[in-house]
Amino acid sequence: MPSLPASSVKATCCAFVVLQGGHVQQIGAPADVYDRPVNAFVAGFIGESNLLRVRVEACEQGVARLRSERGDVLQAQAGALVPGQTVQALLRPEQFHLGCPADAGCASLEGTVEQTLFVGKDFEVTLRSVHGEHLKAVVRDASRQALQRLQDGNRLHLWYRLDAVHLIPENA
């Protein structure tokens, strides 16, 4: 049997196997592993991620209010969360938008644009949140008017769908 590096991904016809130090971290379909990693290692290994350690402040009407260690407030679908619980909130860069998607509940993080890079048809935006979290967003199909908001130093709201936030248990 061939050996694999200590941290690796092996793709089979239908599944990824993510290893760390020779131990299986996650097995699943590529999209499932990317969208719902079981821990922070898998989240960072499989793709770029904004991963924030957050504490659940409240759960009302199916929506959880989350506060990051630095003080930023996020929202997510509450699911089985309970106030006081600590989890990691994952948002992939491509899950951010310049406006609230009309088809679902959404929330935003506010901050200052630190850098905008044009990459093909996309714009990679680095945002420093109000409380100092660094976030990366990939903005697609931005109008010329919207591009004005992406200039360094501008205040900006990055919107995301509540169901886009993937929550990882703290000890995973």
Q: Is residue 116 part of a domain?
A: yes
Q: Which of 30, 47, 64 is the last residue of a domain?
A: 47
- Are the C-beta atoms of residues 50 and 93 closer than 8 Å to each other? yes
How distant, in Å, are the alpha carbons of 15, 51, 102, 156 from that of 38? Answer: 15, 13, 29, 31
Look at residue 67 in the predicted model and tell me its pLDDT: 98
| 39-61: average pLDDT | 95
Domain count, the chain: 2
Three-state secondary-structure class, residue 115: strand
Q: Which domain holds residue 111?
A: 93-161
pLDDT in tens, 66-112: 999 999 999 999 999 999 999 999 999 999 999 887 767 899 999 99
pLDDT of 21 = 93
Higher per-residue confidence, 170 vs 33: 33
Same domain, yes or no: 99 and 156: yes
Which whole number is the average pLDDT over 121-140? Answer: 94
